[in-house]
Amino acid sequence: MRLIFVAPPHTETTGDFAACAFTQNLMTLCEALTNRGVDTVLLSGEENEASCGWHIDYYSSRDRHRWFGEFDKTKTMNIDWSDTPAWREANLRAAAAMVPLNLDPRNDIIMLSVGSSQSRIMKEFQNITSVEYAVGYEGTTAPYRVYCSLAWKNFLAGKQSERFGPHDTVIHHYTEPQKWINIRHDDYVLFVGRIFRGKGPQEAAAIARASGRKLILAGTGVKSVEADRIHLDDGSFILGNQEEIEYVGPVNKSERSTLMRDAYATIVPTQYFEPFGLVAIESTMLGTPVLTTNWGAFPETILPEMGSTFSSLNEGIAKLELLGDLDRLGVHMATMDNYSTTSQVPKYIDYLSSLLEHPQPAWQSGFARSW
């Protein structure tokens, strides 16, 4: 079995793009599969840090800037995922780079991660099995899909009346195993990621303030900081003085891990239907419990050993105090058992191997999408 990963061209497969879940999922899975002896090919940009069997760069940094603009790590990326000239050119470039691989339908699988934005690649290789391997978005087009949670699969079914193929499956997202370090944690609460109203930073600030703990904000989306509030790019603001809230700006992967490891808890009070919520799992992998809204995938993914969920601010305040009773080694071990690449990658290998045993390419499948 050979897996051909096609990275989306709006980023580079490097740690500088830690804010892009599509890119980080690809890097983590490709490296884990490679380390298990699976034959992997990665098509991405010229700046690559992901481990793979063979790397092919199908776009340059100049191409990426021309297609999607200059990257500013202090700002949230706003990408047009529709069938734009940029996506059409990038997909044709990727398809051309794949021709010398002499793809074999009995051995090769094309691994895609951004739904309809990459549908042109599937159209160019209609006799090859294509899989969307980490569906946490809308607009799926591949005949085979791996959903990041059962909640998200059911949500799409209800919202879109989407037709699901007989080979669709659910494999929870994953993160790299981390060594748990038994250190004395600090007493702050962490909110990390994109900072906008839908992620619930206002609720995070209210819960932290009521508990008497400082809230540390890390990520993109902040417009300005004043004495008694933080203004966000989306026009909303977070109330709190600088003793109550500390904004540390965007952080790289290493800085993010340190902030998570040392926090009393990470709070993920997302207001919309979260497909998975990888930041919660990254935190618990480091032994730091999480507090999330009782909404989206969280009731499915946040096990009692890892943290808690809440449905109101008062409940959130009470549940935050109880997180101190959790054994941080137990938080780490529960994450290792359920959400590490060690536990999840064998599921991918079994699933993908089964598709090659009984292939049903897109052009044959009655469940395939219309291009």
Summarised one tens digit per residue, pLDDT across range 268-279 is 999 999 999 999
Sign of the torsion angle spanned by Cα atoms 202, 198, 312, 292: negative
Residues 6+ apart with CB under 8 A from 252: 15, 16, 18
359 vs 282, more confident: 282
- For residues 223 and 251, the answer to whether their CB atoms sit within 8 Å is no
Give the bridge partners for 111, in sequence order.
5, 131
Of all helices (H) and strands (E), which one includes residue 351? helix 341-357
* Domain boundary assignment for the chain: 2-174+341-357, 189-338
The domains spanning 2-174+341-357 and 189-338 adopt the same CATH topology:
yes
Nearest to 130 by CA among 371, 368, 349: 368
- For residues 335 and 176, the answer to whether their CB atoms sit within 8 Å is no
| Chain CA centroid to CA 180, Å | 22
Predicted confidence band at 144 (pLDDT cuts at 50, 70, 90)?
A: very high
Question: In the predicted model, what is the mean pLDDT of the chain?
Answer: 90
* Segment among 4-13, 41-50, 67-76 with least mean pLDDT: 67-76
pTM for the full predicted model: 0.89
Model pLDDT, residue 179: 73
- For residues 98 and 58, the answer to whether their CB atoms sit within 8 Å is no
Model pLDDT, residue 18: 74
- For residues 34 and 51, the answer to whether their CB atoms sit within 8 Å is yes
Nearest to 79 by CA among 89, 91, 92, 69: 69
Model pLDDT, residue 162: 56
The domain 2-174+341-357 having CATH identifier 3.40.50.2000: the answer here is yes
Tell me how crowded residue 249 is: count the other CB atoms within 10 A of its CB. Answer: 12
Model pLDDT, residue 143: 87
- For residues 229 and 223, the answer to whether their CB atoms sit within 8 Å is no
Q: In this model, does residue 194 exceed pLDDT 70? A: yes
Pick the CATH number of 189-338 from 3.40.50.2000, 3.40.50.720, 3.40.50.1220, 3.40.50.2300: 3.40.50.2000
The pair of structure tokens assigned to 128 is: 């090859």
Summary count for the chain: helices (H), strands (E): 12, 16
